[in-house]
Chain A
């Protein structure tokens, strides 16, 4: 499926530019996008090192276990295929916590860590497991308690009450997460359920 989407975006864009007589924009946009991707990866490196380092300390200090006690019961029900004491569970707990606190740049490295831990439980290394799809559903809709970036953006634009959208954001992200998790369950059942 991802193959088709990728091809559609790439080939569709090139053909479309050809038809509308803008074919000359393609080459520069491709080059700059490729450069941006590497810049982005390097920018991510610093943040990733920082938060994965913090994560290691939190793990050794037993902080992950404390978080697990708080939100663990819910997470365990959402990820039935992950053994409760596997490191993947701790990483998932940390990702969801970071998402809830609106720590966008901390959530990404922690989410990556969680996916890598889930990969260790996988038999087919090229294909996403149901647990990985569920994690993705949780991360892309992310139940956000404090949308820090948006509040800052609104304050900068001169809003009278920048934080007034918090209630709406909470309600929406909760519904979106519920919808994504439901669709995830349907697909999981359709794909033959119990495979890890």
Chain B
């Protein structure tokens, strides 16, 4: 049974709990605080909450939006950027080392041992969902937390903006 992460942008308040949860999940040491305060090898979140510009004419002067949480998103609406595990993943097409592959469950998986840091995938992903780990010369991106029942970001999201659904549940839910 294939499950997918669904993001309901309207519900995101920009609290960034998902970022912390993701970074923590993907750090080798369990104690996030340690990793975050350490100078080297900071844990990297595979999800990023960024502000949008709701109206292009407002690019210069952005207004805070109502009901926004206290965080650094002072402009525009909060928007989670993460890998969508596309049906026709352009990153996989571009990956010349075979580090990125789409598996039988539809997950676009990345093998850091094979990655050579050529950034071909970054060039190809239209969502800008891939980050560089410059120090290790590899990329990082959402892996849907293969070792967990529910992805860390989903579990951390308390507003229901990021949810995990079975594929067949998605159309009913969409608006």
Query: Do A and B belong to a common assembly?
Result: no
